[in-house]
Structures are given as structure tokens and as C-alpha cells.
Structure 1
């Protein structure tokens, strides 16, 4: 039976506050400065000095501007680091707009296929409601970018530069989602009316033709062949003619993307360690690379990242960047804000509890480019962000090891760094399928 708040209870709470001699002091501070400024412990910045025992030189940071493409920027940055070392191109960038175009286009098709797969369910079903809440968005995961590159390749930024809509994506997203929801109405009605497979395919083909036109008008049409012209860091001139996006990737990056695998740390009861997982209805390219995560302990998680950094290669990672993070200073540290002390309230939750109860999930992807090891143990990590050079130290952040423990959920490493037992699991185990709304399906 529910119980209302009584007048006696309210009176007791008021008396407790009145009897606290510091209550008005705290009230004045918080009400005038806000919670974070009052709770900040600026002394923690001294522990977060940007000096690291392993520090990769990865050049200037990129800027995703007003778009949600951090996962794409971070992944392309790991590739451009490799390319820059090989070809002496320190200020070079790959085209985020090119992969963005194809991701949007493929996500539209992926949405249509999910609409058709759930067309026998009412719009009130949880799966249909989940689909319609956000038909597509800017975010993604590592495997999704691999699926795009494996199908379409990549190009230099000079070949397909940014547009207004790639850098400031809200108008494009709202317009495309409006269209996709309208298309869902049409597709579901065709299924309800027992339309033939040919009629449904024709309707979907018309929708995709319109999607392509919408994306070409807003982002520009992707190139199919181009010349790559540049001067390297030694001022030597180069031109490579007649490249396609796929031949460019093969020649200038040359990675076997199947070697790079997703490692997660999700310490919830439904995801035992040393097993693989995927998420229903999560992806972009129909028939392309599927999302697959190997869940490991945090000790293994960090050890794998350190191995790759020691080998001279940066590491894509996903985290909950808004937690205990000071954007302007570029500090991510669990000791930076002390809300518990400020309000005399215990806010602490375990990592598993935060995931299970919706307090945290992966919201942002960046790149690990360094780590400070003391007696072989990490104390802080160097992070390349994609928010431009005006935040942090010229765009680079410092992350405490304790913050990584609590708020980092995913790293991508070359499977050569996996111990034999974990590598066998990753390569051979059929992944457990998680619900579409599982927190490990969050898009960075």
C-alpha cells in the first residue's frame, strides 16, 4: 500500500536542516555557483599532469563539431596515426563525411529490414517502440565502422570534405528520421495488406533512392575514383592517380580489419566474463560485419590496451565521458567532484549497478595514445579527443586509472595481443544475443 509524505515527516526534515550550522553556508554556495563548481576539488588536477611514461606522438586532434560522430572520428584517427607514420603526413585526416554518408545510407536500409521483421507486432510492442524512438542517429560502434570500410573503403578528407550538415547534424537527423518513420508506416501497411514480396521490394527501393538523394544534397555525393595529391612532412610532392576508396584503404592503411576486435568490461550478472555477446537489431550494413564483444575482467581489459600502446599503436575506446569529467581542463577523474561530501549523501554505485539501473552507459569514443606506468601499473592515461584544440591540453585529456575502472566499457585491440584462451573464445564462440536495449548496445 502506498504512503503519502506526512506533515510530521516534512517538519522533521526541516528541523534537521535548521539544526545543521553549515546548511546555509552550503545552500549559498550551491545555489549561486551550481553543484559541480561547488563540489570540484581542483587539487586533483595536480595528479593529472599530462606526462606519461608511454606517450605516442599522434599530432593535432580533429573536431567533430556539432555532430555525434565520435566513434567514427576515433576509429579513423587510429588509422590516420598509422598512415601518418608510414607516409610522413602529420596533419593529415581521413574523410569523416565519406563514411558518414554511407553509414546514414546503410542505417536506413537496416531500419527498413528491422521494420519488416517486426511488422507482425503492434506498434505498442517494446521492439517496435524501440525502433521508432530513434530510427537512426549519428552514433555507432567499432564493428559498424568496419562494416562500412569493408564495403565502401575510405578517402582522404581533401577528397570529400565536411559540409554544414556533417558538422552540424541535427537538421539532417530530424529530417531523415521523419522520412524513415513515414516509410515505416508504408512498409507496415504493405505487410498488413498482404502485399507481395515484389511490391514490398519495389517500395523499399523507391525509399532508398530518396534516401540517397537526401544524403547527396546534404552531405555531397561520395566519389568513386580520385587522385591523391599531397606533400609529406619533408616537403616532397606526391600524386597517386586513379584510386578508388577501397584501393586507397588497401594501399595507405592496409589493415586486415578482422584482426581488430571489441573487448568490453561489463561486470553485470547477465554477462559472465570470457564469453562473447552481440545485440539484437544493432548494426548498419545488412549482410556486413556484425557487432561482437568479448567481455573480460578490468585487469585483462587494461592489460590488452597497454600491450597495444607498448607496440606503438593507439587504442580506440568507449566510455561514459560525462561522468566526473571536467571538459575545459580535459580531466576525467573520480576524485574531481565530491558530491557525496557536498550534500552528505552516499551517491556511490558499483559499475554493474550503474549499468543495470540506467545510471551509466557508453556515450563517447576516443583514442588512448599514452599511459603512465608506475611499478608496472597504470596510474593515468593519455586520451585523444575529437572536440578540437580548445579543450584539455590542445585537445588531449588525462584520465585517471580509477576513472577507467568505473566508466570505460570498450577497447578495440589487435587480436594478436589476446592470450591464446581468450583469442580462441573470441574467434570460435557463438555470441549470446542481448536485447536491443541492453546498455552494451549503446552507440558512442
Structure 2
């Protein structure tokens, strides 16, 4: 039975407000300063200093500018750290625009394939509606980046620098999504009209050619061969001629990407720990590497991140960066704002409840480059962001361990740090992981 709000109810609510100690002063403070500034804790700022017992030297931060490429920047940052150290190239960057081009192109094909796969479903089906809401976007997952590298390789930023549309992607995304929705109409009509497989394939090929043109105009042509020319930190000149994106990757990075595993911490009832998961309709490269998440309990999750940092290797991670964070000073801490006290109410939700009820999901990827261990336990973590050097400590943030527990959802770990049992689970379940729905929070794109 539904109940309407009455005049008596309103009077009682106002009476309760008037009886709240300090309500007039608090009302003025919040009205003039907003919720977060009024609830901000100075004590949190004093505890979250940039001193860590394990602190990797990784150089200046990158800047994704007005684009949603954090996952790409974070992944390429973990790879460039080794190049910077081995070849003595300070502040070197890999081309985020190169992987951006191929991601947009592959996502377009991925969208077309999903449109064809669901063409027999009505437009108001949840899957079709999900597809059409955002045909493609800037965000992605670690496994999606590795699928791009496996197929196309990688290049230094000098070989394919930024353009207006890579640094400020809103116009490109709007244009490309218009194109993809337009093409979805045509593809669904071809299926409804029982067109031949050849006619459908020909139509899709023409669509992809037009997508390629859009990307070439906005992002430039991805290089197939180039020279890598640089001066190292000792001012010595180097040039490496006639490289391809794949030979560059093999020579200057050389990671075995199959050795890296996405680990998640999702304490929801539908995802038992120590099992492998994938997400329907999540990916970019058809026939390429697919998303595979191993779900672990939070203490095991953190222990792996620490092991990798102790070994001198940074850690890609995904989190809900907007929660309990101050972007300007670069602090991520559950105690930075005390809204409970400010409003005299209880906002507490568990990590599982936030995921289940839509309060939180992964929104941003960054890199762990340090951790402070006190009495054998982590207290705070050093974070390399990709928002330039005007925020935080020259672009570096600090996250409390409590914030890590609540708002970090994913890390990428070298399998050499996993136990034999977990590696066996990956091998056993890789071909048939538990499939999650497209809208599952673990399918969120960073």
C-alpha cells in the first residue's frame, strides 16, 4: 500500500530539523560551501602524506586530457616504466593515440557483430537497448588493451602523437556513435529482410571502411613502419630504423601478455571467490583476447599487489575514483569527508551492497607505484594518475588502505605471483568461465 506525504508529515520533519543542535549554523555552512567542503576532514590530509616504504621511481605523469582513456594510459604507463629505466629515457611515453585508433576501429566491428547477433530480438529487449545506449566509448579493460597489442603492436608517442580528437574525444564519440546507430538500423533491416550472408558482409565492410575514414581524419593514419629516434638521459643520440609496431613492442617492451591476469574483488553473492568470470558483450577485438576476471578475497587481492610492487613492478588497477576523494590535493580516503556527522544520518553501505544497488562500480584506472607497510600491513598506497601534474603531488595521489578495501575493484598481476592452485583454476576455467550479464558492474569500463 502506497502512502502519500501529508502536511502533518512535513510539519514533523521541519520540527525535527529545528530541534537538531547547530542546524542553523550547519545550514549556512553547507549552503555557502557545499557538502564536501563542509564535511572535509583536515585529519585525513595530515595522515595521507607522500611517504612510502616501497616507492618505485616512475617519472612524470601523463595526461589523458579531455578523454576517457585512463585504462589505456594506465596500461601503457606500466609498460613505459621499464623502457624508461632500461634505455634511460626520462618521461618517455608510448602512443596512446595509436591504441586509441585501433580500439575505436575494433569496437565498431564488435558493435556490428553484436547488432547482427541480436537482430532477431525486439528493440526494447534489454540487450538491444544496452547496445544502443552506448555503441562505443573511450573506456576499456586491461584484456582489451592486450588484444589490441597482440594484433597491432605498439609505437612510441613520437610515431603517432596526439590530435585534437584524441585529447578531447567528445566530438569524435558523438559522430562515431551516430554512425554506428545509423548502421545498426541498416543491419537489422538486412536481417529482417533475410538478406544473404554475402550482402550482409558486404554492407558491413562498407560501413567499416567509412569508420576507418572517420578515424583517419580525426586521429591520423596509424604508422606501419617508422624510425625510433631519441636522446637518452646522458644526451647520447640513438636511432632505430625501419621498425614496425610489432617489432618495436618485441624489442622495447617484450612482455608475455599471457602472463598477466586480471584479478577482481567483488564480494557479491553471485560471484564466489577463486573462480573465473567473463562479461557478455564486453570486448573489442573479434577473435582476440577475451576478458577474464579471477575473483579473490580482499586480503589475497592486496597481498598480490604488494608482491608485485616488492618485485619492482608497478600495478594497473581499476577503482571508483570519485568516491571519498579530493582531486585537487590527490587524496583518496574513506575518512576525508564525514557526511554522516554533518547530516546526522547513516550513509553506511558494504562494498557488496554498493555494487548490487548501483552506488559504485569501476570508473577509472590508474597505476600503483608504491605502498607503505607498517608492522607488516599496508597503511596507504602511492598512485600514479593520468590527469597531468597540476593535481595531487605532481600528478601522484595517495590512497588509504581503507579506501583500497572499499573502492578498488581490479588489479592486473603477473601469474608468477599467483599460487599453483590459482594458476590451475585459471587453466581449468579459462575456456568456460562463468558468464556475467552485459550490465554487471564487473563489466564497467575504466
TM-score interval w.r.t. the shorter chain?
A: over 0.9
1:400-427 deviations in Å (ceiling 9; x for gaps): 0000000000000100000111111122
SS of equivalent residue, structure 1 residue 189: helix
1:330: how far off? 0.2
For these two proteins, the number of residue pairs brought into alignment is 444
Distance 1:374 1:313 in 2: 20
2 CA distance for matches of 1:248 and 1:427?
30
Q: 4+ runs of 1 displaced by more than 3 Å?
A: none
The alignment partner of 1:403 has SS state of helix
Between the aligned partners of 2:285 and 2:52, the Cα distance in structure 1 is 39
* Superposition deviation, residue 197 in structure 1: 0.2
User: Distance between the aligned counterparts of 2:91 and 2:389, measured in 1?
Assistant: 13
The equivalent of 1:149 in structure 2 is 149
User: Which residue pairs with 1:396 in the alignment?
Assistant: 396
Residue range with higher mean Cα deviation, 173-182 or 17-26: 17-26
Q: Distance in 1 between matches of 2:25 and 2:335?
A: 22
State the distance in 1 between where 2:89 and 2:118 align: 48
SS in 2 for 1:428: helix
Deviations 1:277-306 (A, max 9, x none): 000000000000000000000001000000
After TM superposition, list the pairs within 5 Å mapping 1:179-194 onto structure 2.
179-194=179-194
Higher mean alpha-carbon deviation, 423-432 vs 317-326, is at: 423-432
Provide the residue aligned with 2:433 in structure 1: 431
Q: Does 1:268 align with 2:261?
A: no
CA distance in 2, matches of 1:21, 1:268: 38
Question: Which residue does 2:342 correspond to in 1?
Answer: 342
TM-superposed CA distance for 1:23, in Å, is 1.0
Which residue in 2 is equivalent to 1:104? 104
CA distance in 2, matches of 1:177, 1:207: 13
TM-score normalised per structure 2? 0.99
Cα distance, 1:9 vs structure 2: 1.2
Residue 139 (structure 1) shift: 0.1
Question: Are 2:367 and 1:356 equivalent residues in the alignment?
Answer: no
Residue 445 of structure 2 is matched in structure 1 by 443
CA displacement, residues 322-351 of structure 1 (integer Å, 9 cap, x when unaligned): 000000100000000000000001001000
Distance in 1 (CA, whole Å) between partners of 2:238 and 2:364 is: 36
Q: Give, in whole Å, the separation in 2 of the partners of 1:392 and 1:16.
A: 40
Greater mean alpha carbon deviation, residues 226-235 or residues 319-328: 226-235
Matches within 5 A, 1:376-415: 376-415=376-415
CA displacement at 1:223 relative to structure 2: 0.4
Q: In structure 2, list runs of 5 or more residues that go unmatched.
A: none
Residue aligning to 2:218 = 218
Residue 293 of structure 2 corresponds to 293
Distance 1:19 1:348 in 2: 24
Residues 23-422 of structure 1 correspond to what in structure 2 (within 5 A)?
23-422=23-422
Give the superposition deviation at 1:85.
1.3
Please give the alpha-carbon distance, in whole angstroms, between the structure 1 residues aligned to 2:227 and 2:238: 10
Cα shift readout 1:42-63 (whole Å, capped 9, x = no counterpart): 2211110000000000000000
The 3-state SS of whatever aligns with 2:389 is: coil
Measured after TM superposition, the shift of residue 428 of structure 1 is 2.0
After superposing the two structures, state which structure 1 stretch, 21-30 or 175-184, moved more.
21-30
In structure 1, the gaps of 5 or more residues are none
Distance 1:375 1:21, change over 3 A: closer
Q: 3-state SS of the aligned residue for 1:372?
A: strand
Instruction: Report the alpha carbon displacement of residue 437 of structure 1 after superposing the two structures with TM.
Output: 0.1
CA–CA distance in structure 2, aligned partners of residues 423 and 304 of structure 1 = 13
Q: Distance in 2 between matches of 1:68 and 1:216?
A: 19
Provide the secondary structure at the position in 2 that maps to 1:158: helix
| CA distance in 2 between partners of 1:32 and 1:220 (Å) | 47
The whole-number CA distance in structure 2 between the counterparts of 1:304 and 1:21 is 47
TM-score (norm. length: structure 1): 0.99
Alignment root-mean-square deviation, CA: 0.6
Shift of 1:234: 1.4
Q: Residue by residue, what CA displacement relative to the aligned partner does 1:72-129 show, whole Å, maximum 9, x if unpaired?
A: 0000000000111111112100000000000000000000000000000000000000
Q: Deviations over 1:148-201 (max 9, x none)?
A: 000000000001000000000000000000000000000000000000000000
State the SS of the aligned residue for 2:278.
strand
